Amino acid sequence: MMDTLFSKIIARQIPADIVYEDELCLAFRDINPQAPVHILIIPKNPIPKVIDATEADKDLLGHLLIVAGKIAKNEGHEEAFRLVINNGENAGQSVFHLHVHILAGRNFNWPPG
């Protein structure tokens, strides 16, 4: 796949406010936050979209959710946070390197916009 700017963040070619890193993933604050806490978690091994994930990725995808919970807790928001994964342009995806948005620090509406 084509490198996205998230690959450049992993490679430290673009600066980011990194809050968590392990061998499988990296998490950093969104440049355009939609909530007081808005963090993105990305796999280091890039998958463009959720729909591109396979059975081989199931441990990785589970890991991203476990890490999301840990980060929300670290940020002081274990009681209420929202996780979002946009798949495809019409769903709001703009960077084609799978990422989980962690949003917290305000109330969220349902249904989402």
CB 66 within 8 A of CB 25: no
Is residue 65 at the binding interface for ligand DGP, with CB under 6 A as the rule? no
Q: Whose CA is closest to 53, among 36, 39, 37, 65? A: 65
Residue number closest to ligand DGP, CB atom: 31
CB of 15 to ligand DGP, least distance (A): 8
Binding piece for ligand DGP, criterion CB under 6 A, among 41-49, 58-66, 85-93, 104-112:
85-93
Query: Where on the chain is the footprint of ligand DGP (CB under 6 A)?
Result: 5, 14, 16, 28-32, 40, 86, 92-95
